[in-house]
Structure 1
């Protein structure tokens, strides 16, 4: 994995008889990926390199496909899909959850990881924050969530008023809001909080992890790589390699550095099922 990408990606070729996107990526020697600086799913490390579980998977997959390098563009979470669709990059490598709404805009690979929800809170959890309903029941509490994230959807579903939500562009902003006391918790996946706390420290703790239940069904979200919907041949090749990695144990190896365990690996749930909802 290497380097921040330039602001624009290679011109689309294609058309009748034109080179495929994979052929063009092989020729240029790198694939441009978008990420949102969410530790440990996808972020830029202190040396300016793309890091995290999703970029690691992307780098390994594309290396297998003959593309030796990934170059990353960090953007706000709600800018990932627009950035992909406007050709700013070729792949989203941010651990983005596969949802029916997103499937209408982009094409997802088969799942590569999951993680339950949790909150990052003040040490000792003085406000006894355990669920999104805690905020709906206490109007004095404020919650930071990524703008456009599944956590924002959960917050709205469980009735948290808008004036109690602080919509943030990235994880670092949420941490700083919590540190300054401007919010009482930040909502993200449990593994994200755990890794961030390990890296940055602070008088905080991660609450007990859970999968929200909506309409009687446990919402166990699955993340994957995302591509433009027209890049069907590339998607097929990516899914082929992901299946091989899952079978060989490589998928687990790629995530272990970032705190992912066997419990976070994909089960038999397919992207088609997730897109249907």
Structure 2
């Protein structure tokens, strides 16, 4: 068994330096070839609690990282590097070989399926909002944003942008920021009426805000706003992805997995069910 280590890279620019040191050999290899040769598998993620984020020591935390590492371990791979970047840099960074797998808790969407390959679903993910205490503009779903003439803030590259536009929210009413910290800051400061993201993330922001914001009821969201999260790969690494999916099938929902992800709020209701990535790519 290969030795286990994690190497944290604090920003995308640093990640480029790490890659540059080995570019001559790694770029010519497929992920399967690299892994079988004992080279590090680099997992890329943004600071998206509770999906994926760096711990105080730089180690990869969050339920998507835990699941990915668990699956890789089941496959026999334990030499893993953690590469943190901004959300908007995940797909470009993957395709630029800055890392090998995206573990950021990314929803599977048709637009993303055009650019990368996803694993089979690992979680069912609903959207949610954070709002001022008491929800003064009565925001519960994307349509209500229009009714209230509200400003929505969300992360650059988040699926919430497409969902809001699909509900008729004008682009001028959608503020884009780097990630959750900035979403919370915009709502707290009154620069936005609602912060949008996955319910997992919005609930965590609300719980950590000392009462300055609250999370809305996720059941008010329309069924079509529910998504499935997957783990991202380069399309050229389909052979590795096939092996990964085989291990994923045995791992997801297992007693060991459920125990490992419980601390992040992942429960039986979060399991992906029988939906396939092929279906999700065609319908989301």
TM-score, normalised relative to structure 1: 0.89
**Equivalent of residue 181 in structure 1, options 179, 183, 190:** 190
What secondary structure is seen at the aligned counterpart in 2 of 1:93? strand
Cα shift readout 1:25-71 (whole Å, capped 9, x = no counterpart): 35445321111211111112333222111111111111222222432
1:276 aligns with 2:279: no
Q: Is the 8 A contact 1:59 1:69 kept in 2?
A: no
Q: Is the 8 A contact 1:252 1:265 kept in 2?
A: no
Q: Is the 8 A contact 1:211 1:218 kept in 2?
A: no
RMSD between aligned alpha carbons? 2.3
Give the aligned partner of residue 254 of structure 2.
248
1:267 aligns with 2:276: no
**Closer, same or farther in 2 for the Cα pair 1:172/1:50, shift >3 Å?**
same
Measured in 1, the distance between the counterparts of 2:90 and 2:57 equals 22
Q: Is the 8 A contact 1:96 1:225 kept in 2?
A: yes
Measured in 1, the distance between the counterparts of 2:248 and 2:143 equals 36
Bigger shift: residues 67-76 or 167-176 = 67-76
What is the aligned length? 271
Distance apart, 1:169 and its partner CA: 1.4
1:83 aligns with 2:93: yes
**Equivalent of residue 45 in structure 1, options 55, 59, 64:** 55
1:73 aligns with 2:77: no
Distance apart, 1:179 and its partner CA: 2.0
Which structure 2 segments of 5+ residues have no match?
none
Q: Is the 8 A contact 1:4 1:73 kept in 2?
A: yes
Distance apart, 1:170 and its partner CA: 0.9
Distance apart, 1:194 and its partner CA: 1.9
1:205 aligns with 2:205: no
Q: By percentage of residues, which structure has more helix?
A: 2
1:63 aligns with 2:69: no
Which structure 1 segments of 5+ residues have no match?
none
What secondary structure is seen at the aligned counterpart in 1 of 2:129? strand
Give the aligned partner of residue 2 of structure 1.
6
**Closer, same or farther in 2 for the Cα pair 1:46/1:179, shift >3 Å?**
farther
Q: Is the 8 A contact 1:3 1:50 kept in 2?
A: no
**Equivalent of residue 154 in structure 1, options 144, 160, 163:** 163
What secondary structure is seen at the aligned counterpart in 2 of 1:145? strand
Give the aligned partner of residue 221 of structure 1.
227
1:235 aligns with 2:229: no
